[in-house]
């Protein structure tokens, strides 16, 4: 049975008509490779079609083309029936994986554009999809954004197949569920929802799947695009989904009952739900003894408050409440500010904006130059500003402490949120002093109480209170005491360890 090229729905039984239709559908691409060969020991002609640069051409020649040409053991039934001949080619001649056999052009185009080869047989109205992807990929390296002193030196790559294999290396259980989805009307990207069956709450998994299926976009260049589409509140300054490059961090989250989202083309994996307490957690906390891990978490908590309120406190106390400062310190600050023409708030804003510009410039410049710009630029500009009488030395100290504190926050996205809110606290302090800081702090707390991440309260286990989960909050008890999964996650299996 033959079909006209104009239908473009299903394959024809004519090989050359199918090749013509394929070129038409792809708009005659220059990178399309077509190899027409004779099937050994028969009258059939076959065509192996692939896209150069996406498929391994040498692999196709050795594992597909040569075996088909050299095979002479085709059965009599296959010689008379093209459909049976196609079956024999799949079972006896091709050693590569054949993920699909279809007669639909839409499916064929999807596999072909993903890097797989397509085998078309004259007389058959179906084609074989042959696994032969050979995309350029980066080797497995240590994550650049989440460096640890102690821990695995392995990070995700841009290949979703590699990332899934890294997770399976950590969790060798059939309960590790991987649900593939295709997103992007134009890009047709692969996205996988990963969770552990029996641990992750089924309602959480269903909600994640519902939001992923509701995506309606042309292209997702990075997982951050998916994050913005599926988060609960796009107006909140706080991230509601965690991103990470570390397989060990994803593994630990999956074993807590969380869900991971992997997107092909990016090393950043999304973890959800996300809580405020998770901002202070790092995988290294569990690799060191509990005393060290608890101390580091307390330092991070101090760093969060310093990042958010330190410049604002300086402005409020200096402008509205100088009586709270010891007399000798007041004299020292007054002497350092002698000749400074700006009020404290303008002085702080100038330094903070300059610091953000230096930080952004250091990121965008090449790595060797960026580090130099960040260090030398900060020293030179700070010293020059003090010598010129534009800012006071104590303001340089305040800004430096604030910058150091912001780097101590493990989550880069959360650090940006606190840096942004810092400007609001500074402006609030310039109008109302300490009262403005307290009022803004209350407003932030109210916002956090109302915020949710996929049905989980953002301030859990603080509000609402789950006292059983406080053992792994701001302080971490010995790992031998952490025998249960977080209660607020509502996991199916509540125990993750048992004492012997």
Cβ contacts of 369 within 8 Å, gap of 6 or more? none
CB 99 within 8 A of CB 129: yes
Q: pLDDT digits over 263-303, tens only?
A: 999 999 999 999 999 888 988 889 999 999 999 999 999 99
CB 240 within 8 A of CB 458: yes
pLDDT-derived band of residue 8, with 50, 70 and 90 as boundaries?
low
Angle between helices 290-319 and 344-364 (to 10 degrees): 140
CA distance 173 to 300: 35
Residue with the two structure tokens 């099937």: 39
Angle between helices 412-432 and 434-450 (to 10 degrees): 140
pLDDT at 1: 43
Q: In what side-by-side order are the strands of the sheet with 32-38?
A: 32-38, 45-51, 117-121, 127-130, 100-102
CB burial of residue 150 (10 Å; 0-12, 13-18, 19+): exposed
- How crowded is residue 373: how many other Cβ atoms within 10 Å of its Cβ? 17
SS3 103: coil
Phi/psi at 54 (nearest 5 deg)? -105, -25
pLDDT-derived band of residue 375, with 50, 70 and 90 as boundaries?
low
| Chain mean pLDDT for the chain | 88
pLDDT at 4: 43
Q: pLDDT digits over 139-197, tens only?
A: 888 888 888 888 888 999 999 999 999 999 999 999 999 999 999 888 889 999 999 99
Tokens of 74: 């085709």
- How crowded is residue 347: how many other Cβ atoms within 10 Å of its Cβ? 26
pLDDT-derived band of residue 136, with 50, 70 and 90 as boundaries?
confident
- How crowded is residue 215: how many other Cβ atoms within 10 Å of its Cβ? 16
pLDDT-derived band of residue 6, with 50, 70 and 90 as boundaries?
very low
Q: What is the dihedral of CA 351, 353, 358, 360, to 10 degrees?
A: 160
Q: Where are the alpha helices (DSSP H) in 267-326?
A: 284-287, 290-319
Cβ contacts of 329 within 8 Å, gap of 6 or more? none
Secondary structure, 3-state, 13-70: CCHHHHHHHHHHHCCCCCCEEEEEEECCCCCCEEEEEEEECCECHHHHHHHHHHHHHH
Tokens of 333: 């600050």
Angle between helices 367-387 and 393-407 (to 10 degrees): 150
Q: What is the dihedral of CA 378, 384, 387, 393, to 10 degrees?
A: -10
In this prediction, residues 98-124 reach a mean pLDDT of: 91
pLDDT at 5: 42
- How crowded is residue 321: how many other Cβ atoms within 10 Å of its Cβ? 13
- Whole-number Cα distances in Å, 40 to 47, 126, 276, 471: 13, 20, 65, 69
Query: Which of 238-252, 318-332, 390-404 has the largest mean confidence?
Result: 238-252
pLDDT at 370: 65
CA distance 111 to 417: 41
pLDDT at 297: 93
């Amino acid at each position: 049975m033959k079909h006209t090229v104009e239908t473009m729905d299903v394959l024809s039984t004519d090989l050359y008509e199918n090749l013509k239709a394929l070129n038409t559908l792809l708009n005659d691409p220059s990178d399309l490779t077509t190899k027409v060969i004779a099937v050994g020991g028969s009258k059939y002609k076959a065509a192996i079609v692939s896209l150069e640069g996406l498929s391994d051409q040498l692999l196709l020649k050795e594992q597909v083309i040569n075996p088909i040409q050299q095979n002479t053991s085709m059965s009599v039934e296959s010689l008379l029936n093209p459909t049976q001949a196609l079956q024999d080619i799949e079972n006896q001649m091709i050693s590569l994986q054949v993920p699909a056999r279809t007669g639909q052009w839409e499916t064929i185009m999807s596999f072909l554009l993903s890097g797989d080869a397509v085998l078309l047989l004259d007389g058959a109205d179906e084609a074989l999809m042959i696994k032969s992807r050979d995309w350029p990929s980066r080797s497995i390296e240590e994550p650049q954004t989440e460096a640890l002193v102690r821990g695995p030196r392995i990070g995700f790559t841009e290949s979703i197949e590699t990332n899934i294999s890294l997770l399976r290396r950590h969790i060798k259980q059939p309960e590790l569920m991987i649900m593939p989805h295709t997103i992007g009307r134009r890009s047709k990207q692969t996205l996988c929802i990963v969770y552990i069956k029996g641990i992750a709450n089924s309602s959480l998994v269903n909600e994640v799947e519902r939001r992923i299926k509701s995506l309606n976009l042309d292209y997702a260049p990075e997982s951050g695009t998916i994050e913005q589409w599926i988060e609960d509140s796009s107006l909140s300054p706080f991230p509601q989904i965690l991103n990470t490059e570390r397989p060990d961090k994803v593994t630990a989250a999956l074993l807590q009952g969380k869900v991971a989202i992997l997107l092909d083309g990016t090393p950043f994996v999304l973890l959800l739900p996300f809580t405020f307490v998770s901002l202070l957690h790092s995988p290294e906390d569990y690799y060191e003894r509990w005393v060290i891990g608890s101390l580091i978490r307390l330092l991070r908590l101090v760093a969060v408050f310093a990042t958010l309120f330190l410049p604002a406190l300086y402005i409020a106390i200096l402008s509205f409440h100088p009586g709270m400062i010891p007399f000798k310190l007041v004299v020292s600050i007054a002497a350092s500010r002698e000749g400074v023409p700006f009020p404290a708030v303008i002085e702080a804003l100038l330094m903070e904006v300059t610091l953000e510009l230096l930080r952004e410039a250091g990121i965008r410049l090449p790595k060797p130059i960026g580090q130099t710009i960040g260090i030398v630029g900060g020293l030179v500009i700070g010293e020059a500003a003090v010598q010129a009488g534009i800012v006071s030395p104590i303001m340089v100290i305040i800004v430096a402490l604030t910058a150091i504190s912001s780097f101590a926050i493990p989550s880069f996205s959360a650090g940006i949120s606190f840096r942004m809110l810092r400007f609001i606290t500074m402006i609030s302090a310039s109008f109302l002093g300490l009262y403005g800081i307290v009022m803004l702090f209350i407003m932030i707390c109210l916002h956090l109480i109302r915020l949710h991440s996929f049905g989980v309260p953002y301030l859990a286990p603080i509000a609402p209170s789950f006292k059983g989960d406080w053992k792994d909050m701001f302080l971490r008890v010995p790992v031998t005491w952490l025998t249960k999964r977080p209660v607020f996650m509502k996991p199916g299996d509540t125990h993750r360890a048992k004492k012997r």
